[in-house]
Amino acid sequence: MRVLVVGGGAREHALAWKLSRSPRLERLWCAPGNAGTAALATNLEIAPTDLEGLYRFAKRERIDLTVVGPEAPLVAGIVDRFEQGGLSIVGPTRRAARLEGSKAYAKELMRKHTIPTADARIFRRESDLRRYLEVAELPFVIKADGLAAGKGVYVCHTPQDAEHALEQLYVRRRHGRAADTVLVEEWLDGEEISVHALTDGETIVVLEDARDYKRLLDGDRGPNTGGMGAVSPSARLDGGRLAQIEEQILVPIVHALKREGAPYRGVLYAGLMWTPSGPKVLEWNVRFGDPEAQVLLPRLEGDLLEVFAALAHRRLSEASVRWDARPAVGVVLASVGYPDNPVTGVPIRGVAEAEALAGVCVFHGGTARARDGALVTAGGRVLTVTALGETREAARARAYDAARRIHFEGMRFRTDIAADGGGLNAPVGRGTTRRA
């Protein structure tokens, strides 16, 4: 099969790496890709949001299957464009992708179909929001409605936190049009859990769980980022909890979208809080998480291309999804200045030495090749160093051993990924398949 991967981050490198291992693969392209995908595929100078450019390329090169990594092209309607032209693609349509593209839409959909989620108020005018915040009870969470690269969420414990959020949303316009609508959501106390599933609108395959670490600094301090590391399994789910999430959240949202005339096909990712009253949805993503994909895909056994082809052709019930029993830990290496002003163009050394360690994969995110061929930084989250181990503790030690073999000026990373909580030998193989 001739396959196109859309995107250029570490998630897309992980997808390309896994797809490249398929015996069914004839040739692989990435648009735009990065220095890591260049070793596996042909990189293209086409932006992920250039839907017409991607369509023309896929049509001309007779692409058998397109896999979309990031959310922006999905929200923009890449699946609609490809399917209208008779091309197979993995992902939800524009209408279904609103689940991530608009938090207000997702909130109203969940309310309508009684899917458990945090209570929220929706505001479309700054003046109304300011008046509400004068009387709202702290703590609460302020969220930009639209796509904000994982950085549009502000947890407010003090009036000063709320004022900072308002400054970012309205004065600095940090999130642009994504903040034309703003949500104020109740602050939930509990355990955060991430659950991915594949669905073709009829069958749901629930994947192994993962947990990401959003804050920049150790101890979950500092600003929110796109994610500074991840672990799978998270040691926070057992069979009973997973069954409850399926029955109360995953199956109902697939049914709800179908009833709304927006049947969902693709990767579905629920960000949840496990509260004293059970699971509640914090957010929906319509694709693999980043860095969650970097710890899930190395644990996925079998042929990912075969699974994606079955999904795209509404035959997911025929696919086989199996898991490596070993836990995986991923550590993100970031540029100085991330998340606001990352420094780029800095030479990177030591990647080959890190990859030489058994059980280690180094997934490129913000990387490029300089004119002299040197590997350099080209973004905020530069690399994700992922390691498998017989136990979570062993995977974690191996990931940090590999990470410390890599060097670039200003490199920063959290030192506490997967260090919290027990479950170092948590049971695995909990992924399930069921009819929606």
Question: pLDDT tens digits, the chain, 436 residues: what are they?
Answer: 999 999 999 999 999 999 999 999 999 999 999 999 999 999 999 999 999 999 999 999 999 999 999 999 999 999 999 999 999 999 999 999 999 999 999 999 999 999 999 999 999 999 999 999 999 999 999 999 999 877 799 999 999 999 999 999 999 999 999 999 999 999 999 888 889 999 999 999 999 999 999 999 999 999 889 899 999 998 777 778 888 999 999 999 999 999 999 999 999 999 999 999 999 999 999 999 999 999 999 999 999 999 999 999 999 999 999 999 999 999 999 999 999 899 999 999 999 999 999 999 999 999 999 999 999 999 999 999 999 999 999 999 999 999 999 999 999 999 999 997 533 333 333 444 444 5
Distance CA 12, CA 186 (A): 33
Distance CA 42, CA 316 (A): 28
3-state secondary structure 381-395: EEEEEEEECCCHHHH
pLDDT score of 429: 36
Distance CA 178, CA 173 (A): 9
Distance CA 430, CA 264 (A): 23
- Strand ranges (E), 324-374: 328-334, 360-364, 367-369
Q: How distant, in Å, are the alpha carbons of 56, 76, 80, 362, 369 from that of 93?
A: 19, 9, 6, 31, 34
- Strand ranges (E), 291-327: 300-301, 322-323
CATH 3.40.50.20 given to domain 2-93: yes
pLDDT score of 428: 34
Give 365: exposed, middle or buried? Use CB within 10 Å, 0-12, 13-18, 19+.
buried
Q: Which residues contact 125 (CB under 8 A, 6 or more apart)?
A: none
pLDDT score of 299: 98
> Angle, nearest 10°, between helix axes 126-135 and 159-166?
180
Distance CA 35, CA 291 (A): 18
Distance CA 295, CA 404 (A): 19
pLDDT score of 374: 97
pLDDT score of 75: 97
The amino acid at 337: G
Distance CA 234, CA 105 (A): 29
pLDDT score of 430: 40
Q: Are 15 and 67 in contact, with CB atoms under 8 Å apart?
A: yes
Exposure string (b/e) for 61-75, b if CB count within 10 Å is 16 or more? eebbbbbbbbbbbbb
Domain ranges of the chain: 2-93, 125-180
